A and B are shown apart, each in its own frame.
Chain A
């Protein structure tokens, strides 16, 4: 004789939250990945590789500097493309006066210093006293 499992309880029905948790977790992962990719605005940036660096949290403001398809330099700040001329003013607005916050520069290793330097100078002009250069981690120890 087959024994049937009988749910015992007040109503005999419960809401199964497992699929809800699964879907919510997948959505969180999805938006984390999309948000991260969107911060580079689709640009392919390969930072210089170093064997040493700081492992502190990435600053909120990240300036991406990459080679544009047209041959020039493509600059984006936290996912939004902008010109070099407007970078200084945008940084000034975002950092406030007096300056609070940090900026990281993720520049492509194939660029020349002459192409990256204007971005550094825009940060200096915005009132920053330091920046963080993003590098790709190779073997080494954090500082």
Chain B
């Protein structure tokens, strides 16, 4: 029986390399993919309140854990809004609608017992609403 000689490119190296590249991208996606970054300002104590009056509207946000529940207080001037983690997004959206996202300067403060997760979720609510000036003030 005669064997026909096969002419043409050798596919083995290409298959090898494609497989390795596939593994590489799968590993990259699994390891590096699932993380995001939230930029947070760290104003120095001296810089607090350095913005010109009327330029920005400061929003003092305090997060407290009381009896296992997280309470969030938003203070804009003399106005105070008490809210929770479940409703903070709606309150932040209301603030942004009233003042505009570019005019709000948010300072997030929290008690030591507050879960870190809650602080990040409050931060996330402001980022989602389009606020870019978000910071963690120096402890008093």
Verify if B55 is at the interface (C-beta below 8 Å from A): no
Verify if A60 is at the interface (C-beta below 8 Å from B): no
Verify if B73 is at the interface (C-beta below 8 Å from A): no
Task: Name 21 A/B residue pairs within 8 A (Cβ), A-sorted.
Answer: A3-B5, A18-B13, A22-B16, A26-B20, A29-B23, A36-B31, A36-B32, A47-B35, A48-B116, A50-B36, A52-B128, A54-B37, A58-B37, A108-B116, A110-B117, A112-B114, A124-B138, A129-B42, A132-B39, A133-B38, A136-B34
With an 8 Å Cβ cutoff, the count of chain A residues facing the other chain is 53
Q: Main SS of chain A's interface residues?
A: mixed
* Chain B residue at minimal CB-CB distance from A130: B41
Contact check, A123 vs B20: say whether CB atoms are below 8 A apart. no
* Chain A residue at minimal CB-CB distance from B28: A32
Contact check, B36 vs A29: say whether CB atoms are below 8 A apart. no
Q: Give the residues in chain A near B27, CB-CB below 8 Å.
A: 29, 32-33
The one of A32, A50, A121 in contact with B38, judged by C-beta atoms closer than 8 angstroms, is: A50
Contact check, B124 vs A137: say whether CB atoms are below 8 A apart. no
Interface residues in A40-69 (C-beta closer than 8 Å to B): 47-48, 50-56, 58
Verify if B2 is at the interface (C-beta below 8 Å from A): yes
Verify if A114 is at the interface (C-beta below 8 Å from B): yes
With an 8 Å Cβ cutoff, the count of chain B residues facing the other chain is 47
Contact check, A52 vs B36: say whether CB atoms are below 8 A apart. yes
Verify if B76 is at the interface (C-beta below 8 Å from A): no
Verify if A1 is at the interface (C-beta below 8 Å from B): yes
The one of B2, B119, B138 in contact with A113, judged by C-beta atoms closer than 8 angstroms, is: B119
Contact check, A52 vs B42: say whether CB atoms are below 8 A apart. no
Verify if B77 is at the interface (C-beta below 8 Å from A): no
